[in-house]
Structure 1
Amino acid sequence: MSIALDAPHVTDEARELRAELVERAAKLRPLIASNADRADRERTVPAENVAALAESGLLSLLRPARYGGLQTDLRTLLEVSREIGRACGSTSWVTTLFNVNSWFVGLFPARAQDDVWADTPQSRVAGVISPSGTAAAANGGYLVSGRWAPASGSAHADWAMLGVKRPDAEGTTDATGLVLVPMSELTVEDTWFVSGMRGTASNTLIGKDIFVPAHRFHSTPDAVEGHYATPYTEEALYRSAFVPVATLVLAGPQLGLAEAAVDILREKAPQRSLSQTFYDIQAEAPFVQQAAAAAASLVDSAQLHAYRAAADIDEAAHHAILPDYDARARIRMDAAVAAAHAREAISLVCSAQGASSFGESNPLQRIWRDSETGSRHGGLRSDVASDAYGKSLFGIRGTVTAFV
């Protein structure tokens, strides 16, 4: 199930590649689905999932072609994330984060990109944007210390992108930024004990006085305003708007989780009885039919919002335009609405299926837990998004969050 909504500039060749990549993801669904309970139980995505995704090229969607990446677009990442999410929310989340962190690295100076990929083009990057560490000026760079969480996918990462504050640069655009650090220089503390998205291994990274050369620092305020350090300005993907990309990609796994829930309802309802009623099977009951229709429509709506936002981002990047504040606020709203609709669709399916939805052997309970957790990521909060978007509709800008 797909919604035909795309940026005007996208070529038939690009659409064919996207379809091929989604098909690759579909072929991996049996493997990933068979490991979904294990990922949830062991609190990490199994290594064979990661290896299969890497071999299929699905961890290189936003890596620069200069380093062997596919360098696709946001719509492609959303569709691949959705397809993987139909099998396992945690695996889809980690896939999404590895890809978007590759995009973040693509914004850094060329020397930093070379550090990550020149010798090891398959390097994977985990990341925490929130500036929960500090960077003190040192000769030729910075001494970085802090604790960063949640670092999704850190169990399978080679590098980490970490948010930092620079007290010495207060009042400038360098007061907060992102730094790139090899995972070998960090300690991982096992802190990810949660109800949903358990397999993402979103643990805490710890560093103390790690030297980071100056070229591996990127100003966050500059990035928010579309001022990137990459010299490869002809590469449209790396002209995409920073916050819209960072928030929208998080909706991809939610699309897949919701679609998986509707698939389960369509499969199970014609086979299951409806206790304490005269209906022989659930699918005969009008209220189950209505729930199915409402859930399926919410899934469609979630995709429409997400794909419209992706089209806006991809088209603006193609024309080397940073969307204005109002457009960025709407994109953030689209991402939040997509996640909220996906979550509501799953809730409807669980109610239609009854209390058995929450049996430990029923994949619906894992889907529900993953959605309830992942859709509440700070970047998908509908209250923040609607506050920023609602104010922007009245010309009130910049009073809610800097992350627009």
Structure 2
Amino acid sequence: MIDILAANAERTEQQDRPTADSVRAAREAGAFALATPEVYGGRSANATEIARTLTGMGRACPATSWIAGTCLTAKTLAGGYDETVLKELFADPDALFCGTGVPSGRGETEAHGVRVNGRWVSVSGCEDAQWAGLALMVDGVFSFAQIPLADLSIDRTWQMAGMRGTGSHTVVAEDVLVPAGRVTPFKGPFGVATMQLFAISVLAPMVGATFGALDVITAMFASDRKPYMTAYANMGASPGARQWLAEATTLAQRAERTMLAVATEIDAGTGLTDADGSRLHLNLSEAARDCRASVELMLDLHGTSGFRTSNPLQRFWRDVAVGSRHPHLNAYLAVEGFGRTVAGVTG
């Protein structure tokens, strides 16, 4: 899978969605079944396996890794339905799900189901998904609906500097009648472990992208390229360049260690408290900032040629710049939350 994702990463960005080969490879490797319950043929993967899988994919193609992560989130949200609906949703354990928790649609109860209308923006992977889990208000109640993509239309609105290949377009429902069983009131709030797992699902592709950028830089150090306008024989001959390489590598490794440490706490299953949640949220947001700082150092090392559109370094940079700023990794809100915890402020 990794080789296929890497070979198709540039084309994935150019067409604003993963290539068919990338989707097929991810599916066959079980990347879309990470959160499919084991009873339905899925992996029921723990947080550590999820973090490692998405990091490996992100190193090759951050966009396809991201879609696998959002599929995980969507399948987790789909777990609250009754047995009959779950059998329908997970009939294909490797099906790609997409969705959003923003209730930008509405539903009206009818005799034979719920009539749904709405527009949901930034739905990653929607052009290749089979199911969409969409938040909406049904008769004034915050709810979720599971709707086949075949019943929806897509408005291609995703125009971004980075993460272009995620194809996070707008999903549209126009008078779609959804069976009542596939619409359920939101059974939240989610626990600390689940929320931090969602954060890992967006951080891991960014950690992988940072290591992907590092692959580009270490290859440059292994070549005969030298710092311009110097007498050095190659990049490695420069003490300053070696130091910056070491710093970039340290930041990337620290981001990964931090993420895996949080995953370990989640997998321990010891009942994380809200105070733990604020601490882990801050840790993950700091890991995202480490990713950005690491890639910035790599760009300084590579120089202006790293910004050529043919150079994968600039693609990794743009993907990290955009993806690491996802709301799950919001740094200032993480600081606020942790500040409340350590100051003993409630409410």
TM-score range, shorter chain: over 0.9
Amino acid at match of 1:381: N
- Once the 2 structures are TM-superposed, how far is the Cα of residue 132 of structure 1 from its aligned partner? 1.5
Question: Where in structure 2 are the equivalents of 1:186-265 lying within 5 Å?
Answer: 186-220=152-186, 222-226=187-191, 241-265=193-217
Match of 1:337 among 283, 286, 303: 286
Q: Secondary structure at the match of 1:86?
A: helix
Amino acid at match of 1:241: A
* Residues 202-248 of structure 1 deviation map (CA, whole Å, 9 limit, x = unaligned): 1000112323334333444x32244xxxxxxxxxxxxx833222222
| Contact 2:244–2:301, Cα closer than 8 Å, also in 1 | yes
- Identical aligned pairs, as a percentage? 29
Match of 1:21 in 2: none
What TM-score comes out, normalization by structure 1 length? 0.81
Counterparts of 2:189 and 2:197, CA distance in 1: 10
Counterparts of 1:270 and 1:129, CA distance in 2: 45
Q: Are 1:394 and 2:334 counterparts?
A: no
| Contact 1:224–1:243, Cα closer than 8 Å, also in 2 | no
Match of 2:106 in 1: 134
Counterparts of 1:310 and 1:86, CA distance in 2: 19
Question: Alpha carbon RMSD of aligned pairs, Å?
Answer: 1.8
Match of 1:380 in 2: 329
Counterparts of 1:253 and 1:64, CA distance in 2: 22
Distance 1:136 1:246, change over 3 A: farther
| Contact 1:143–1:209, Cα closer than 8 Å, also in 2 | yes
Counterparts of 1:260 and 1:123, CA distance in 2: 27
Match of 2:319 among 370, 374, 396: 370
Counterparts of 2:346 and 2:285, CA distance in 1: 18
- Once the 2 structures are TM-superposed, how far is the Cα of residue 142 of structure 1 from its aligned partner? 2.9
Q: Are 1:287 and 2:260 counterparts?
A: no
Counterparts of 1:142 and 1:391, CA distance in 2: 41
Question: Where in structure 2 are the equivalents of 1:290-301 lying within 5 Å?
Answer: 290-301=243-254
Match of 2:301 in 1: 352
Counterparts of 1:179 and 1:151, CA distance in 2: 14
Amino acid at match of 2:259: A
| Contact 1:45–1:199, Cα closer than 8 Å, also in 2 | yes
Question: Where in structure 2 are the equivalents of 1:11-22 lying within 5 Å?
Answer: none
Counterparts of 1:358 and 1:192, CA distance in 2: 22
Distance 1:384 1:140, change over 3 A: farther
Match of 1:275 among 204, 228, 243: 228
- Once the 2 structures are TM-superposed, how far is the Cα of residue 333 of structure 1 from its aligned partner? 1.6
Match of 1:150 in 2: 122
Higher mean alpha-carbon deviation, 342-351 vs 55-64, is at 55-64
What TM-score comes out, normalization by structure 2 length? 0.94
Counterparts of 2:28 and 2:75, CA distance in 1: 16
- Once the 2 structures are TM-superposed, how far is the Cα of residue 141 of structure 1 from its aligned partner? 4.5
Amino acid at match of 2:127: A
Match of 2:136 among 160, 164, 171: 164
Amino acid at match of 1:77: I
Unaligned runs of 5+ in 2: none
- Once the 2 structures are TM-superposed, how far is the Cα of residue 52 of structure 1 from its aligned partner? 1.3
Distance 1:246 1:352, change over 3 A: same
**Structure 1 runs (4+) greater than 6 angstroms displaced:** none
Match of 1:124 in 2: 96
